[in-house]
Amino acid sequence: MKIANKKLIIFDWDGTIMDSVPKIVATLQSAARELRVPEPDHVDAKNIIGLSLDTAVSTLFPEHSEHHQALEEQYKHHYVSVDTTPSPLFDDVRETLQALKDKGYWLAIATGKSRRGLDRLLNNTGLADFFEISMTASEAKSKPDPDMLEQILAFYDIQREQAVMIGDTQIDMQLAANANMDAVGVTFGVHSQTELETYNPIATVDNYKQLLDLFPQVIAT
């Protein structure tokens, strides 16, 4: 299968570019322990990945609203300064991004991370130069509201039919559906192929080499 007539590829970050799901889950659990509120299990913690932090916290801890702000602060502190769970890039990420750029695609990011958090990771990984624009929960409404994608489309002044969203969660697939945009699911992050296909992505892939094979050379217009 080839995905034709696209100019823009929009990537999620956590669980799609970076293998950060275990770190996020561990950090959410440690933040809960720190404040002595019930610790979310692995599945529940994993399923909020992609939401903005405030939305994730209110979703996981609905009966502890008095602790929401403190949970957010503890999460940030543990993620940056305490938790040592590795969060490497997935195999072949850098090579695939370069190959897509060489084929003529514009690349962007739509993530539930904060601007500060994303910028830190873009700089640490050396991936910043691949992306002309990124949208975070600091500038846009939380996924799955289509606001992030709408802002990216406006930046490039293109139609949604010319773009595709790449993500690992049902939240990413729902985000694309809400924006009436095609999506490709990746199965190496949070959700399985079966779970992703609930929202009818045009394809699912198991690795970055398969992802690259979906996209032909951009035809100049």
pLDDT one-digit tens code per residue, 148-167: 999 999 999 999 999 999 99
Q: Which pLDDT tens digit goes with each residue over 166-196?
A: 999 999 999 999 999 999 999 999 999 999 9
Whole-angstrom Cα distance, residue 179 to residue 140?
14
Task: Measure the CA dihedral 5/211/97/190, to 10°.
Answer: 120
Cβ atoms < 10 Å from Cβ of 6: 18
Domain extent listing, the chain: 8-19+89-213, 21-82
CA dihedral 193, 195, 199, 205 (to 10 degrees): -20
| Sign for the pseudo-dihedral over CA of 152, 117, 112, 2 | positive
- Give the H or E element holding residue 167: strand 163-167
Nearest residue to 164 (alpha-carbon basis) of 208, 211, 127: 211
* Residue carrying the six token digits 């897509």: 100
pLDDT digits (tens, 9 = 90+) for 68-121: 999 999 999 988 888 889 999 999 999 999 999 999 999 999 999 999 999 999
pTM of the model: 0.93
Model confidence band, residue 219 (pLDDT cutoffs 50, 70, 90): confident
CATH superfamily assigned to domain 8-19+89-213: HAD superfamily/HAD-like (3.40.50.1000)
